[in-house]
């Protein structure tokens, strides 16, 4: 009888392993090389009727096209470009998953984004079944939108990258999107508090830099520009609201924030400069200051929004700004 039960358990375990392997995406063969993806989402974008005024959709499209054109195809085996209707959540998440096939992957994404509150929950467990939730612990998560206003949430990205054996292969992310760099973030795990009665159900990756790079706030420099760490990851985004690419820099003779992005990628990919150096060079060309730390992007800015009061924002560089993009 014991042998029969043992056999049954063995067969069950084999079935379990088989069924799990269908669910967990394990990359058996890891390819090498570099990949880049440029997205220009128009979700939540507004534009003025033809009036000669610069419009965000036109400027962002131009910026994304130029940036994409700067990635050398001799270096980047895969160089994807998506704009407007092609920018869907599925494509973005698929490309994040596909990044695991490369040694190095980088993303530039223009989109609208927000932060939101989700909740970690402590459950009281009765007889192996979730009982009632005892506590809700608020956790700030972040999301940006595809062209169809579908949110791409940090924990969804984190669920993909955290299954990569050797750490995320996405080494540089430039997210020109509101609030996605409010914090580096941390992983909210699920675990038994007191087995088998209390279970903590975490809400996953909370924070975009963490979600993309799998580096939490203890592993990444909070100012990768002024004091870069020694890691291989860098994340650039906005704390608070982001500047529209089409907004003019008044004293510059017609340059806008989009020109800053184009110049940054030019220096990073054509001259092969480190991220921080490319930021400095772009700052001189566009803002007329010698270094990035003198730009409003680094020092911060505030705008009065009717009905909402003053909102502030600044660009954040997390991780190691001394990294270079393959060029």
Partner 1 sequence: MMNFSMKKLCVALVLAVILALLLIEVPSLYSADFSAPERALTFLKDVIGLDITKYNVTMTHYSVVCDPDYYGGLPQEHVDYIIKSDESVIDVSYTFINKTLAVCNLYAYKSSLLYAQPPTNVLDAAKSIIDRYQDYTWNSYIQVMRDMLDTVTELKPMTKSVGNVKLKISENGPYTCIEWVYTSNGLDFNRKSISLAFQDGTFRSFSDSWSLYKIGSDSVNVSEEEAINIARNATKDMPKLYGRVGNETIVLQPKVADSPVEAKLITGIREPLTLYPLWHVQLYFDKLYGNYYGVAVDIWADTGEICGIYGTGIMGYIPQSENQQQTQAPAQTPSEESPPTQTPPQEENPTPSPPEQTPPPKETQTNNQTNLNLTPFIIASAIPITATIIIATTLYKRKRKH
Contacts of partner 1 in 239-268 (CB under 8 A): 239-244, 246-248, 250-254
**Residue 232 in the binding site for partner 1 (CB under 8 A):** no
Q: Of 88 and 143, which has the nearer Cβ to partner 1?
A: 143
Q: Of 74 and 230, which has the nearer Cβ to partner 1?
A: 230
Asked, as a colleague might, if the bond just before 196 is cis with ω within 30 of 0, I would say yes
**Residue 15 in the binding site for partner 1 (CB under 8 A):** yes
User: Which candidate, 121, 188, 116, places its Cα nearest to that of 152?
Assistant: 116
Q: Which one among 82, 104, 174, 199 touches partner 1, defined by CB under 8 A?
A: 199
Q: Of 176 and 233, which has the nearer Cβ to partner 1?
A: 176
Shortest Cβ distance from residue 70 to partner 1 (Å)? 14
**Residue 48 in the binding site for partner 1 (CB under 8 A):** yes
Q: Of 62-70, 165-173, 200-208, 210-218, which segment contacts partner 1 by CB under 8 A? A: 200-208
Q: Of 32 and 138, which has the nearer Cβ to partner 1?
A: 138
284: exposed, middle or buried (C-beta count within 10 Å: 0-12, 13-18, 19+)?
Answer: middle
Q: Of 28 and 306, which has the nearer Cβ to partner 1?
A: 306
Packed helices 257-265 and 275-287: angle between N→C axes, nearest 10 degrees: 140
Shortest Cβ distance from residue 35 to partner 1 (Å)? 25
289: exposed, middle or buried (C-beta count within 10 Å: 0-12, 13-18, 19+)?
Answer: middle
Alpha-carbon 18 to chain mean position? 33
**Residue 227 in the binding site for partner 1 (CB under 8 A):** yes
Q: Of 63-71, 96-104, 212-220, 233-241, which segment contacts partner 1 by CB under 8 A? A: 233-241
Q: Of 24 and 28, which has the nearer Cβ to partner 1?
A: 24
Shortest Cβ distance from residue 99 to partner 1 (Å)? 19
Query: How many residues are given for the chain?
Result: 327
CB-based contact 215:241 (threshold 8 Å): no
Site for partner 1 in 112-151 (CB under 8 A): 112-119, 121, 123, 125, 128-133, 136, 138, 143, 145, 148-149, 151
CA distance 84 to 127: 50
- Which residues, in sequence order, are CB contacts of 251 under 8 Å at separation 6+? 288
Shortest Cβ distance from residue 78 to partner 1 (Å)? 27
Q: Which one among 27, 30, 73, 272 touches partner 1, defined by CB under 8 A?
A: 272
User: Which candidate, 298, 284, 286, 279, places its Cα nearest to that of 245?
Assistant: 286
CA distance 230 to 232: 7
**Residue 189 in the binding site for partner 1 (CB under 8 A):** yes
Sheet-wide strand order for 104-110: 76-83, 34-40, 104-110, 170-176, 234-240, 309-319, 301-305
Site for partner 1 in 289-308 (CB under 8 A): 289-291, 293-294, 298-299, 303-308
DSSP 224: T
Q: Which one among 68, 171, 215, 277 touches partner 1, defined by CB under 8 A?
A: 277
């Amino acid at each position: 009888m014991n042998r029969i039960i043992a056999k049954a358990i063995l067969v069950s375990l084999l079935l379990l392993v088989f069924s799990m392997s269908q669910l967990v995406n394990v990359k058996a063969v890891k390819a090498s090389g570099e990949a880049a993806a440029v997205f220009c989402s128009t979700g939540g974008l507004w534009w003025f009727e033809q009036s000669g005024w610069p419009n965000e959709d036109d400027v962002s499209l131009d910026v994304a096209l130029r940036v994409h054109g700067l990635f050398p195809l001799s270096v980047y085996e895969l160089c994807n470009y998506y704009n407007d209707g092609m920018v869907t959540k599925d494509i973005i998440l698929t490309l994040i998953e596909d990044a695991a096939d490369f040694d190095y992957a980088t993303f530039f994404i223009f989109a609208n984004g927000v932060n939101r509150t989700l909740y970690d929950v402590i459950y009281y467990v009765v007889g192996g079944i979730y009982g009632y939730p005892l506590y809700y612990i608020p956790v700030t998560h972040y999301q940006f939108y595809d062209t169809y206003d579908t949110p791409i949430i940090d924990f969804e990205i984190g669920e993909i990258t955290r299954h990569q054996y050797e750490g995320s292969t996405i080494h540089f992310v430039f997210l020109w999107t509101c609030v996605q760099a409010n914090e580096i973030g941390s992983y909210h795990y699920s675990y038994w508090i007191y087995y088998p009665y209390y279970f903590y159900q975490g809400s996953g990756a909370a924070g975009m830099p963490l979600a993309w790079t799998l580096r939490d706030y203890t592993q990444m420099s909070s100012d990768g520009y002024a004091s870069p760490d020694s890691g291989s990851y860098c994340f650039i985004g906005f704390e608070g609201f982001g500047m529209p690419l089409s907004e003019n820099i008044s004293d510059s003779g017609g340059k806008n924030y989009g020109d800053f992005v184009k110049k940054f990628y030019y220096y990073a990919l054509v001259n092969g400069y480190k991220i921080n150096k490319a930021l400095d060079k772009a700052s001189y060309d566009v803002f007329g200051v010698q270094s990035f730390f003198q730009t409003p992007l680094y020092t911060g800015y505030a705008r009065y929004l009717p009905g909402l009061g003053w909102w502030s924002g600044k660009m954040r560089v997390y991780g190691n700004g001394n990294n270079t993009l393959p060029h």
